[in-house]
Amino acid sequence: MAQYTPYFDNYIDVESPLLPGTYRAAGVPNWQRLGIILLFIAIVVPLFITIKPEPVVMPPVAAEPVAVAEVALAEPAQAGDVAAGAGISPLFAAPVQHWAPLIVEWAGRTGVDPNMAATIMQVESCGDPQAISSAGAQGLFQVMPFHFAPGEDSLDPATNARRGLTYFAERIEQTGGDIGRAFAGYNGGQRAAASSWDQWHPETQRYYVWTTGIYDEIQQGLDESPTLQRWLQAGGASLCNQAAGRLGLPSS
């Protein structure tokens, strides 16, 4: 081809193997030179096409384990961990006292203070294992049906206690250990546990007064619980008489 330069008025012919030029290799015609180049292309180029580099196989990289969020629940106590002679307060009504050894066991398995568990049983059913409310709550701890797994006997004392106290333990966890709001949440659900008195239904407000009052007076070690007596006078006595009849105990 021709290479132009601004330094010369004319141009220099550069011989190309594909075009006739001014200068030729001695004794080698252009058509032979072209044939040699084409033959070279025909032989060498396919070699580059057919010879492929071995693919580099990278070793498999182990996936990072996905951390599963864990709820920071207190480690539940086992029944055998309860101190010898430990039980519930003697202030609870006789039908609740009937269940005292099992209340300690059930509470220990869910990490709940036995007196908290007994307080819930006192206000919910006064120890009547067959109690059913107008809203459909059932058993010793008045657990709603949707808390049970298919096939579970909601009136079985151990099953009822496990479901009820597990739910209460979750409310304690939800409220960061605020026992009053946990009691309210047991009655009014998670929304009640997350809110305050002025947002509670009147029933939840009454439930809060009864449960926190009874539990606080028991924690104080009083000889009698004034709140429990008021609860009995407000209608709780008939519930306890019903429970006593179911259990074959004398009515108060």
Write out pLDDT tens, residues 15-62.
444 444 444 444 555 556 666 666 666 666 566 555 554 444 333 333
pTM over 0.75: no
| pLDDT recorded at residue 14 | 40
Residue 90: the pLDDT is 97
Q: Which pLDDT score, from 0 to 100, does residue 205 have?
A: 98
* pLDDT < 50 positions in the chain: 1-26, 53-85
Cβ atoms < 10 Å from Cβ of 177: 10
pLDDT (0 to 100) of residue 251: 81
Q: What is the number of other CB atoms lying within 10 angstroms of the CB of residue 105?
A: 18
Question: Considering just the CA atoms, what is the radius of gyration of the chain in Å?
Answer: 44
Q: How far apart are CA 249 and CA 252, in angstroms?
A: 9
